[in-house]
Amino acid sequence: MDKMKGFVSLLILCGTVHGQSMGNGISKYTRGQSDPRSCLSFFESFMSANEMDDDCVPRGHCECGTQGRGSLGGERRMFGIHAINCSYHPYGQHSLADVEAMQTEEIDDFKNGYTEHLDSHLGVYVADLHATMEQLERNKVPHYGLTWQHADRRSNTSFYSVMVAPEGCGGFYIEFLSERASGVEMSKFHKTNEVRFDFGNYSRPTSDFHPIKVSRATTKMEEMIDFYTKVIRGQVIKRETVDGVDIAWLKLDSAPNMMIHFVNRPSSSSAKFTVKDLEDYVNSVHDEYIKNANCGFDQFADHHWAYDEMSRLETLSSVAKKCDAGGYKYRWFYIDEIQTTQMYVVDPSGWTFQLDAMPGNDVPRRIATYSAACKSNDGCSGQGLCDDVEVNPFEHF
């Protein structure tokens, strides 16, 4: 099967889709996690997620790692919410568990209110927060409620959200967003001047737990905006500073129904592990292990969003050229199961960005294979074609 047919087969396998779902726009939110099964348990219990049919058995345990990959929205509107532990991939001085523990200590069950690491999260819509709040309270899950006014500041209409840091799934934060909180005491919500999501002129999803926002905590605002508007085709919708917090709103050209937030929130005076510390550490791990476009993939590279670029105005080859020009690290992958080519690009914050698009005309002669079970050409090490100098043409790393 040629690469064009492989890309088409990827879309067919994703099914007929609508809105932000596989095969259309931002289709997945993934993190490398020390305990993916605990993450999946939360997704299933609190978000009605279903485990992916192709997860390893039993219980997501593979030869090379552990999967906890859920899907939201059903077969025809599938959005991936995934946790993965590629156990044999390198991670540097601090493991996934170490970093999760440091982030969890900073959150401290919301005892210090809303703090900076929480700005990296997936936001999902619910028609009414009543049931979610009731379930969280019944199960004694720590959470933090927020309420705000309409974005134009002239309306008295209030909106609501609740942020959750699932137990055993450190660093994987979920924000449930709604226009209603029927029967919930208003004292459970903290007033904020930040607009967590602008529901004005927004077409409401027909089902709960529909992803509507991805957010990233970052100290590299200018670099992130430059990357997502120039390397990845997107537009800045709004940028504002609210109570000292710098917030940028973006949309990608092929993801019009998913809002992207980049947030630079000042660290608290008592912080021991800041967002800057996290960005610096993760980027240092990438510097150590990602050698070139066919070699190297560490555990923190599993932190990513997936983007299905449907406009055909951009190809993997054209993005690779922009990455070369800008000095961005990236990896080529060939996915045997569906016979298609993907790229993972490292953005300035240290997260990767999975790009699904037409391959274009400048794909390397050979590309490292990869699977969702963490295996590459070198087996469980998952590093790719590191010993094949002939297929390592990229020297700028």
For residues 189-212, average pLDDT: 94
Confidence of residue 42 (pLDDT cuts 50, 70, 90): very high
Tell me the sheet residues that pair with 346: 352
Confidence of residue 193 (pLDDT cuts 50, 70, 90): very high
Instruction: Give me 250's structure tokens.
Output: 């973006």
Confidence of residue 202 (pLDDT cuts 50, 70, 90): confident
Is the model's pLDDT at 155 over the cut of 70? no
Residues 214-236 have pLDDT tens digits of 999 999 999 999 999 999 999 99
- The answer to whether 215 touches 260, Cβ cutoff 8 Å, is yes
CB neighbour class for 201 (10 Å; exposed up to 12, middle 13-18, buried from 19):
exposed
Q: Tell me, what DSSP letter sits at residue 77?
A: G
Residues 300-351 have pLDDT tens digits of 999 999 999 877 789 999 999 999 999 999 999 999 888 899 999 999 999 9
Largest Cα–Cα distance of the chain, in whole Å?
A: 65
Span 96-264 CATH architecture: Roll (3.10)
Superfamily (CATH) of domain 3-90+277-391: 2,3-Dihydroxybiphenyl 1,2-Dioxygenase, domain 1 (3.10.180.10)
Residues 89-120 as b/e (b if ≥16 CB within 10 A, e otherwise) read bbbbebebeebbbbbbebbeebeeebbbbbbb
Give the mean pLDDT of the chain.
91
Q: What are the backbone dihedrals phi and psi of residue 286, each rounded to the nearest 5 degrees, phi first?
A: -60, -40
Q: Do the two domains 3-90+277-391 and 96-264 of this chain adopt the same fold?
A: yes
- The answer to whether 120 touches 163, Cβ cutoff 8 Å, is no
Using CA atoms, how far residue 307 sits from 30, 95, 129, 344, 355, in Å, is 12, 27, 28, 10, 5
pLDDT given for residue 162 in this prediction: 98
Is the model's pLDDT at 188 over the cut of 70? yes
Confidence of residue 201 (pLDDT cuts 50, 70, 90): confident
pLDDT given for residue 14 in this prediction: 41
* Domain boundaries defined on the chain: 3-90+277-391, 96-264
Instruction: Give the integer Cα–Cα distance in Å for 50 and 43.
Output: 8
Is the model's pLDDT at 2 over the cut of 80? no
Query: Going edge to edge, which strands form the sheet with 234-242?
Result: 189-191, 143-149, 158-164, 173-178, 121-125, 210-217, 255-264, 245-252, 234-242
For residues 127-132, average pLDDT: 98
Instruction: Give me 380's structure tokens.
Output: 């469980």
Side-chain half-sphere exposure of 74, counting CA atoms within 13 A: 9
For residues 260-287, average pLDDT: 98
How far from the centroid of its chain's Cα atoms is residue 159's Cα? 24
For residues 78-94, average pLDDT: 97
CB neighbour class for 152 (10 Å; exposed up to 12, middle 13-18, buried from 19):
exposed
pLDDT given for residue 153 in this prediction: 58
pLDDT given for residue 394 in this prediction: 43
Residue-level length of the chain: 397
